[in-house]
A and B are shown apart, each in its own frame.
Chain A
Amino acid sequence: MQLYLPIADLPLNIFLLLAMGLAVGFVSGMFGVGGGFLMTPFLIFLGISPSVAVATVASHITASSFSGALSYWRRRAVDIQMAFILLTGGLLGTLSGVWIFTKLRALGQLDLLIGFSYLIMLTAIGGLMLIESVRAIVRVRQQKPSLLRRSGGHTWMHGLPLKMRFKRSTIYVSVIPVWGIGYIIGVVGAVMGIGGGFLLVPMLIYFLRMPTATVIGTAAVLTTATMALATVMHALTNHLVDAVLALVLMVGGVTGAQFGARSAHNIPAERLRFLLGLLILGVGFRFGYGLISRPDNLYSIRTLGADI
């Protein structure tokens, strides 16, 4: 059954879209990430313009991360104080991100930026995750204790001023790197059409030494807020959010996420990270290939506006 998408201006099969929402939702529920890094490329692959894909996926991530945030909230696994400070940086980052997006779109280099950021971000994070998880798997095999949180393990970031005590997460850290992380996630999310969960979670763990118990729930709260703002900003500045597409993706996404979260219980954490790393790396390589291989058609056209 074909469904005509009013803003994307093309009809797509509704079952295909629902299935995609379910599949991406499954992955996002399984790994505790928004899944935007998969959804945006999928939509572009289906023929939706990158700008509409990025803008619409923002609303899809809002839905899936909000559903995640609520369940973590009930389990008291959200550090609201941390989320709030991340948010002050994150909202500023989202505003800059949407601004960059608009400028680059006018310059005609948006596809390049999206391709490049995906390549760098995904290969770096995917690679790091893969290495870390292989080490963890080896440690588990050799029955050594986990090294994820070393007590007293400080980075240079812990030497910065404006220190603050985060009770729920039991850490004492400067707010400057917290703002910085929030800002980066905001920019990246708005430009790339991803929630940045797969980026935020490792950053909070490795840079701030946040415990895993609160990190995913806190990340979900931040993602909900930045993506909700990104949705409104994209709608306001670029008029590119497709309501019909968004609704179909959301319904599939939130449903899939529940099944994903359930099946994640049966798989050891380090193996999950290994699988996610592999997936992220794969998508990253695909983007890299797209940038360096000669395109089928060197020419592209874009409508600037209607003439009377």
Chain B
Amino acid sequence: MNLLARLAAIFVILALCKPARSEGLVVTVAPSQIAVSSSYSGGTVVVFGAVQTDRLPSRSYDVVAIVTGPRQTVVARRKARIGGVWINRDSRVFQNVPSFLGLIATRRLNAIASADVLRRQGIGFKNLLFASGIPLDDDDPFLINLINIRLQQGLFSDRSSGVTFLSRTAFRAEIPLPDNVPVGDYEIDLKLFANGAMIAETQPSFKVVKVGVEDFVVKAAANYSLLYGLAIMSMALSTGWLASIAFRRD
């Protein structure tokens, strides 16, 4: 009797696990490249995806997407009052900080999975930063303020929306990019959840690049700085000269 019950339990568990192994994610990112031109003022990357399963989907899914921008070394500074004046005093350097970090999901994270699961999956700012090797200390005011400033700048975002299921298995994830988005390679970590556990994941990517005049200016300023400086100087001198000719009254 006891043995029978155990066997039945094992059977039930196996039955539940089996479809989990055969579920996968198929996604496509559009556009795969965001062009920052002179008229750029923010953009959106859309991920279309489908849950692949060999049987009829019987349960509801959740999707969490973590978007990570190019990593940087960032210094956080704290001002202190010295002689009546506020000046930068203490500082801490953080390495490998994502320049952009966006978190979107079908609903509130704690409704999708337990805190423990989320931590193991590296979901949430602190968990993500920890996963990239930044020491996680809840009392570190430098780290807390770094996150807060990035949130204010719109470079970090944490939303319990943004992913919607169009049918039982097809979903659409919308990643809004702010106007101050850093250029570089972006990675999307898409995780599929069901019943509080992660059952599939995939990592599509996209690029943010400067194009046209913006690209030319940035490259010229960095690689040909002397020529670039001289060109701007001549531009300034000729603008001044043109103005003095155009408005000449004698």
Contact = CB atoms under 8 A, between A and B. Distances in A.
A10 B218 CA distance: 13
Contacts of B229: 231-236, 241
Contact of A3 (B36, B39, B142, B218): B39
A65 interface: yes
B195 interface: no
Contacts of A242: 217
A12 to B, nearest CB: 10
Contacts, number: 210
Interface stretch (A81-89, A139-147, A169-177, A253-261): A253-261
Given A228-B233, A300-B79, A304-B73, A250 B87 contact: no
Contacts of B93: 304
A75 B249 CA distance: 11
Contacts of B14: none
B225 to A, nearest CB: 5
A250 B237 contact: no
A195 B228 CA distance: 21
B166 interface: no
A224 B38 CA distance: 29
Interface residues of A, number: 67
A256 B5 CA distance: 89
A291 interface: yes
Given A6-B218, A232-B229, A244-B38, A303 B240 contact: no
B41 A243 contact: no
A299 B151 CA distance: 14
B236 A63 contact: yes
Interface in B42-71: 70-71
Contacts of A254: 239-240, 242-243
B226 interface: yes
Contact of A108 (B36, B88, B239): B88
A241 B232 contact: yes
B232 to A, nearest CB: 5
Secondary structure call for the A interface: helix
B236 A246 contact: yes
Nearest to B223: A239
A300 B153 CA distance: 12
**Of listed B142, B221, B243, residue having the most chain A CB within 10 A:** B243
B240 A239 contact: no
B34 to A, nearest CB: 12
Contact of A9 (B37, B148, B180): B180
B40 interface: yes
Interface string B125-149: 0000000000000000110011011
Interface string A49-68: 00000000001101111111
Interface string A90-130: 00000000000000000011011000100000000000000
A150 interface: no
Contacts of B145: 297-299, 301
B3 interface: no
A291 B85 contact: yes
A112 B87 CA distance: 6
A234 to B, nearest CB: 7
Contacts of B231: 243
B226 A232 contact: yes
A244 B229 CA distance: 13
Contact of B248 (A71, A109, A250): A71
B239 A291 contact: no
Contact of B241 (A60, A67, A109, A307): A67
B220 to A, nearest CB: 8
**Of listed B79, B214, B239, residue having the most chain A CB within 10 A:** B239
Given A7-B217, A243-B228, A307 B95 contact: yes
B203 interface: no
Interface in A278-308: 291-295, 297-308
A298 B213 CA distance: 37
Contacts of A68: 240, 244
B76 interface: yes
Contacts of A234: 229
25 contacts: A4-B37, A4-B40, A6-B213, A6-B214, A6-B218, A7-B218, A62-B236, A66-B237, A68-B240, A69-B240, A108-B75, A111-B88, A231-B232, A232-B233, A241-B232, A246-B232, A250-B240, A254-B239, A300-B88, A302-B77, A303-B74, A304-B73, A304-B75, A306-B72, A308-B71
Q: Sorted from nearest, which 9 A-B pairs have the closest CB atoms?
A: A235-B229, A66-B240, A254-B243, A299-B145, A232-B229, A62-B236, A67-B240, A70-B244, A63-B236
Given A66-B241, A254-B240, A297-B145, 5 more contacts: A6-B215, A62-B233, A67-B240, A292-B86, A306-B72
